[in-house]
């Protein structure tokens, strides 16, 4: 993980980590600051999920590793795969119901310390893999924002009960015919 300083973003991240009591994490700064633009900020300032939810760049941590698969000699020299971590459990931008649904949707991508990990190595370009990782995270959070409809239990109709029982009787009679045939000895 690279240690990089940028104006403004670093202090917000440090303040957030201090507020959460994560003193050990202060030594690790987000690698996403390594892609800083000319103004010192990151190219991806905020990730807009919908009208109510925006994910700030300081809530994300990126790590670049060597990808497997095609790429020739380049695959052994360049770290193009992206591991994007979003600290969802401690995110002030996600409401609690969205966090619960995100945890269920993320499955194995949800870590024990409350982060969602997205790993992308689809292309040979590090920049494109970064974009894909952010798009996948945004899609996952977008799915978690939808409240599922509650199922209203209904009683089965008399006709459906009757059809089910007649089907059971027919099936039972078919199975009864499979038994041994009693001969006239």
The model carries a pTM of 0.59
Between CA 111 and CA 103 the distance in angstroms is 9
Between CA 157 and CA 166 the distance in angstroms is 15
Which mean pLDDT values do the consecutive 10-residue runs of the chain (185 residues) have?
Answer: 39 59 47 42 66 84 84 76 91 90 92 92 89 93 90 94 98 90 71
Per-residue model confidence (pLDDT) at position 167: 98
Per-residue model confidence (pLDDT) at position 57: 83
Range 9-145: architecture per CATH:
2-Layer Sandwich (3.30)
Domain ranges of the chain: 9-145
Per-residue model confidence (pLDDT) at position 66: 87
DSSP track, 14-26? HHHHHHHT--GGG
């Amino acid at each position: 993980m690279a240690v990089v300083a940028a104006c403004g973003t670093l202090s917000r991240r440090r303040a957030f980590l201090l507020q959460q009591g994560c003193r050990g994490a202060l030594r690790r700064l987000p690698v996403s600051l390594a892609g800083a633009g000319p103004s010192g900020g990151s190219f991806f300032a905020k990730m807009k999920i919908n009208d109510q939810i925006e994910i700030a760049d300081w809530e994300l941590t990126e790590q670049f590793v060597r990808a497997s698969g095609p790429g020739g000699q380049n695959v052994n020299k360049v770290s193009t795969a992206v591991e994007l971590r979003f600290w969802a459990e401690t995110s002030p931008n996600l409401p609690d119901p969205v966090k619960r649904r995100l945890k269920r949707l993320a499955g194995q991508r949800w870590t024990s310390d409350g982060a969602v990990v997205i790993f992308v190595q689809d292309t040979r370009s590090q920049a494109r893999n970064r974009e894909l990782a952010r798009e996948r995270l945004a899609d996952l959070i977008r799915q978690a924002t939808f409240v599922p409809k509650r199922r209203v239990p209904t009683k089965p109709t008399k006709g459906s009960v009757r059809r089910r029982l007649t089907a059971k009787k027919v099936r039972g009679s078919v199975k009864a015919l499979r038994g041994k045939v009693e001969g006239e000895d």
